[in-house]
A and B are shown apart, each in its own frame.
Chain A
Amino acid sequence: MNNLTDSNWVLSLGTFLPLLGAVVIMFFTSKDDDQTPKVIGIVTAAATLAVGVYTLIQFDYDQADRLQFFVDAEWIEVISSGYTIGLDGISLPLYFLSMVVTLLVMIYTWDNMPDAGNPKAFYSLMLILQTGMAGSFIAQDLILFFVFFEVVLLPMYFMIGVWGGEQRKYASLKFFLYTMFGSAFMLVAFLALFFQAGDAAGGVESFGFAHLYEFGALIDRDVQVWIFAGMFLGFAVKVPMFPFHTWLPDAHTQAPTQGSVILAAILLKLGTYGFVRIALPMLPKGAEAWAPVIGILAVIGIIYGALGCLAQTDMKRLIAFSSVAHMGYVMLGISTLTEFGINAALYGMVAHGLITGMLFFVAGSVKHRYHTLEIKRLSGMLLQMPKMGWILGFAAMASLGLPGLAGFWGEFPAILSAYNPNEALSEELFRVLMVVAAVGTVLAAAYLLWLYQRTAFGEPGDEFKGQSEVEQGKHEGLAHSLSSAANDHGDHEVIKDVQRTEWIAWTPFLIAIVVFGVYPQLMFQVLDPAVTALVETINAGIKLP
């Protein structure tokens, strides 16, 4: 692998800069000082994003199928594992997305610190989390990948456990144990793959992706199926796929807004990314054997998630279940083992990250104002907070896959790709799956519109009536509203519309949802070359005798 650019330091810098920021916050700020950690955190995240932008500029889009900024240094030579990193078209969008999301979440936190306080710890954890996420997307070595993949666990556990809702203890432990369970088997699978590929390569052992792409395919089909099973457990829990999804609604509901956004936008993608980057190309025959199972589970997830949504009474829980359904589309795309399907899946990952992230932001802000997310208590949001109401509507439309918004390009091609799965797979089965998945989109429209109608339309309930800035403005005049509010309405705070920090944090999401909806080619052109190369690897592997 020859290096395409000279600036190989970019990726390491982009990945470890947040860690540096976290160390600075931990050791050089005092516990009583609430502002400094926030400033350091945001500055670090901004600097990281600047490195990310530089990476975007330096990236050679004509060769998006090849690893760029490639570094292959020695790390743990005893176990033939190296510090191997690189970025190609598949990783680039997710790598960049993680940086953007972290910065925006931090800006949002400026005014919306969760109740438990302690920004010092909160910002340090977010920065550590960012290192883990970015690192997972650039790792080109199984052990390195595993380390980063696990690094995200601890900060997320604490974010849910310390800053979460009432049942945070239960939710955080559940999240942790589920993921841990999956990754324990995943590690065994990685090791088995390492040794088996080593045998296939005539004794040359390495954890490097390139090596495993080449020799993993030579392993016997039966063995591949078993190893794939181990990886499947690890990644499917993370995605999460039905029936391993039960940790997700709890984790999302209990997590603080920031945690939910990061979880939805990036962490879930680690699982699907793992399938695309590791499980499929390294074990093509295993993938071929497992594809029908994945496809079926994905479609069950779509329907189950949608039905689950319809049964929810809590807005955040509803959004969480919608994640299960959306990740079902992603997994369906992946299970077709075609260029079209995997492209759609990767697009869907980014789109889902933006849209569901946005929905969780809105849910968090609603909770902040109304102190409840129970759907039946919320109504008339459009009257009380017109802007917030419109943003919720916009995100809901995007989420149900309205053409012209980003969600459409993840969902629609994924369904379409099931019409023509990889030639090694059963066409009949996937066409049935296609039909069922299409029904799922109707259900998606149903639950999202239902959510929107019940929360945004109508008159505000008696409980909150007259407490919003907008309503008071109408009655008493804008100038008066701020000062009088607290006195007039007892201990209730005034329900304000979208605030400045919220605008700063949300606008990029909203713009991106539109841009990627109107001009999907923007991302497809980056993804496609890399995906083509990947699918070639898979097909070649399946056809091996």
Chain B
Amino acid sequence: MIALLSSALAQADEWVSPAIDWHAIAPELILVIGINLVLLIDLNIGESKKWTMATLSGFVVLAAFIPVITLGLELDGVPREMFDGRYVIDEYALVLKAFFLLVAYVIILISQNELEEGGYYQGEFYVLMLCSVLGMVMMTSSRDLVSIFVSLELLSIPAYMMAAWRKRSSVSNEAGVKYYLLGVFASAIMLFGMSYLYGITGTTKLVDIGAQLTNGDLNGLAVVGIAFVLVGFAFKVSAVPFHTWAPDTYEGAPTPVTAFLSVASKAAGFVALVTLVYTAFPGASDVYGPMIWVMAALTMTVGNVLALRQSNIVRMLAYSSVSQGGFILMPLAFAGDPNASGSALNAVVVYLLVYAFMNLGAFAVVIAVSRKTNSGEISSFGGLFNYAPGMAVAMTVFMASLAGIPPLGGWFAKFNAFKAVLDAGNTPAYVLACIAAVNTVISAAYYFKVLRTVWVDDAPDGNTAPINPPQPIVAALAITVIGTIVVGVYPRLVAGFGELSDLAGALGG
């Protein structure tokens, strides 16, 4: 015992602080400083000036963007590693960091008015949101079980509170509690799986784990470990059958928070899945391949079928986001196939980006319209084309894009996913592609039901006063509409991002 302790102490003596690449972690540092700034300033300003918090948070996000860009310019394809390769800044990480910051910015734009008018706790909201974003930004670089777990909790715990933000509404409380309980449950399962993985391999570093797990050579413990870790994240990305929390939480939470959960938090789950699949389990495709295949097929089908029956727009978007998750999962099932590996990664990243644009946009329209109608029913969108043609066109762009109609972004995302799957070229791939094709049609049915209401029906209450959406929402709509269209017409822009071949190499070890 004493020997052990003394050897530990001896080691402690030799311990030197690891070299820290300050430039590489600048985005995270700026966010940390920003969070403290928002917190401190919020404590010391009067109620009437609380609105400045949104602006300040927006600046924090934009400031964090700067090092992301400078890092991108400096990178040149050589990943910057820190802490013994457990925290890596490569193209993949940078693209996704930029993605999360952009999403955060749009979320700030669309939450601003809702928070001001609802009299909610603005300063605290932005602090929590920025914390969550920090977790996401860290997730993109994490290459170690522990840091993945820490990032995941950092991004989830604020989200639990944000879901319950309307604290006098029982629905919102239900949303928060449901999300919290199931989220914690998922974390527990995941930790259990991680402990097995650590037990087998003796390391928490993903690349080292990956080196020890190979197909055909996996024992029961490894299979359980991998499966449990995947299930943990399946909760996070609301993949069927682990999706049950999503519709209630999405409907109960304030709409901007729903947008945040269904885009940012979900994307973070996917990022973790991708990192794990490509770095920790590249040799275990026999385990994760079929699992993800089944989850993807179920997720898109069940999500779609349930979405068909919804009459509430937010609930419909919730199920639609479940089903879109299935499309994002789909290429990952073939990540282990040597042909499809690169294009699957590309497909997931591109899909996340496009999905963020169109889904955030759809939520922005919902928020703008429900400010007038005070209703979440799809029927309340009747007559929109007549009294707010701009909103109607924007909604058309988002819905058509979600349905995958060219030349809008959603089309390219879906196309890329199909392409990645068919790249594998085996029977399961073709079967999954056909299931996905059928699902595309089913999804069109409910997206176009909304458009039909928007274009054809009359305003249900006869109120055809024009909508004057506040500036921030207009800005958010502009960003998302342009993003959705540009990606569809000129996909090279994002396809270039997605060309992460060296990343696949780096990740794959």
Contact = CB atoms under 8 A, between A and B. Distances in A.
B407 A151 contact: yes
Nearest to A226: B430
A153 interface: yes
Interface in B311-334: none
Contacts of B400: 154
B437 A195 contact: no
Interface stretch (A47-55, A71-79, A309-317, A377-385): A71-79
Interface residues of A, number: 36
Contacts of B492: 74-78
Contacts of A450: none
A180 B441 CA distance: 6
A157 B434 CA distance: 25
A248 B396 CA distance: 24
B69 interface: no
B499 interface: yes
B406 A177 contact: no
B37 to A, nearest CB: 41
Contacts of A177: 441, 444-445, 448
A192 B421 CA distance: 10
Nearest to B422: A191
Contacts of B419: 79, 191, 194
Contacts of A194: 419
A146 B406 contact: yes
A78 B499 contact: yes
A328 B212 CA distance: 62
A457 interface: no
B359 interface: no
A185 B437 contact: yes
Nearest to A150: B406
Nearest to A147: B406
Report which residue of A77, A153, A187, A188 has the largest number of chain B beta carbons within 10 angstroms of its beta carbon.
A187
Nearest to A178: B441
A176 interface: yes
Interface in A143-170: 143, 146-147, 150-151, 153-154, 157-158, 161-162, 168-169
Interface in B488-505: 491-492, 495-496, 498-499
Contacts of B438: 181, 184
Q: What bracket does the count of chain B residues touching chain A fall in?
A: 35 or more
A147 B407 CA distance: 6
Given A75-B492, A195-B425, A162 B437 contact: no
Contacts of B407: 147, 151
Interface string B432-443: 011001101100
A164 to B, nearest CB: 9
Given A75-B492, A162-B456, A187-B437, A151 B422 contact: no
Interface stretch (B142-150, B238-246, B410-418): B410-418
Given A76-B491, A185-B434, A147 B456 contact: no
Interface string A75-101: 111110000000000000000000000
A153 B405 contact: yes
Contact of B433 (A168, A181, A188): A188
A169 B452 contact: yes
A121 B386 CA distance: 11
A195 B418 contact: no
15 contacts: A78-B346, A78-B491, A147-B407, A151-B406, A157-B448, A161-B451, A162-B455, A169-B452, A169-B456, A180-B440, A181-B438, A184-B440, A188-B418, A188-B437, A191-B419
Interface of A: 26, 31, 74-79, 121, 143, 146-147, 150-151, 153-154, 157-158, 161-162, 168-169, 172-173, 176-177, 180-181, 184-185, 187-188, 191-192, 194-195
